[in-house]
Amino acid sequence: MSLLEKLTKRAQKIFPRILLPESTDRRVIQAALSLSTQKIAKIVLLGNEDEVFSQLDQPEKSKKHNLEFIDPKDEKLRRDYAKTLLEIRKHKGLELNESLPTAEELAEIAQSAFKSAKALDIKPKIAMLSFSTNRNTKYPQVEKVRLATNICETKLPDVDIVGNIQLDAALEKKVLQIKNPEEFFEPPANVLIFPNLDAANIGYKLVQRFSGAKAIGPILQGIAKPVNDLSRGCSVDEIFNTVVITANQCK
């Protein structure tokens, strides 16, 4: 049984309540119907029920479902949500900070990824990626990754981690032996921590498009309750799989 199949069965046992926005998109509706039919989650669609089902053909409309709807045009509901949001945020200020994802922040990302991997029954082997595999390289970008690796090693004593390291060395033992023969880490890594969002987004899309790999997510971390994202170019299957992952994050 594949990992995704195992996660799907686990999701059916958890059966959480999950919201899908942009519900007039046919891909979202089709994924919602499939998820509801297979009883993977209690799906809530953000939208007006009549408007949503106007997008479907008659055979799809006739399918039995157990979907729930939240109509964003409901004025009473909007006022209630606005009041709740005000109560939560009134003591907090927001700042715009365009400075570089810091070593401490990068370490937090790695720690969250470590926990997420373990929650998905993956034994994490983490590679903190950089454009350099040599710890002696003196660049601020490399130093950030090196420091983040040290923080992770301190906070997660049992973590199997290497950094800073280039992608090829993180995946191929022979390459790592050439670039850093004193390193004890055994490739391949199965959790890759990119140094910034630009590199991560470009990297996963390259793999998806050139290898035909399935992309699930992005999976957001460090939030009180599971919140995950989808590319605008996603397929029905990718929506379905992301909901399965989200369901497994619910407690």
CATH number, domain containing residue 114: 3.40.50.10750
Lowest mean pLDDT among 15-19, 54-58, 95-99, 239-243: 95-99
Number of structural domains the chain divides into: 2
- Report the helix count and the strand count for the chain, using DSSP H and E: 11, 6
Q: What is the largest CA-CA distance in the chain?
A: 65
Same domain for 43 and 126: no
- CA 223 – CA 229 distance, rounded (Å): 13
pLDDT tens digits for 97-116? 433 478 999 999 999 999 98
Q: Determine, yes or no, domain membership for 201.
A: no
Residue 200 tokens, joined: 């991560």
Q: Determine, yes or no, domain membership for 13.
A: yes
pTM (two decimals): 0.73
What Å distances lie between residue 83 and 12, 80, 87, 88, 240, CA to CA?
A: 34, 5, 6, 9, 32
Same domain for 111 and 43: no
Q: Is the pLDDT of residue 178 over 50?
A: yes
Same domain for 180 and 109: yes
Same domain for 186 and 122: yes
Starting at the edge strand found earlier in the chain, the sheet holding 42-46 runs 17-20, 42-46, 68-70
- Domain interval for residue 7: 3-91+243-249
Same domain for 116 and 191: yes
Q: Determine, yes or no, domain membership for 125.
A: yes
Confidence of residue 13 (pLDDT cuts 50, 70, 90): very high
Same domain for 54 and 12: yes
Phi, psi of 90 (to 5 degrees): -65, -25
Higher per-residue confidence, 3 vs 167: 167
Q: Determine, yes or no, domain membership for 51.
A: yes
Q: Determine, yes or no, domain membership for 200.
A: no
Same domain for 107 and 83: no
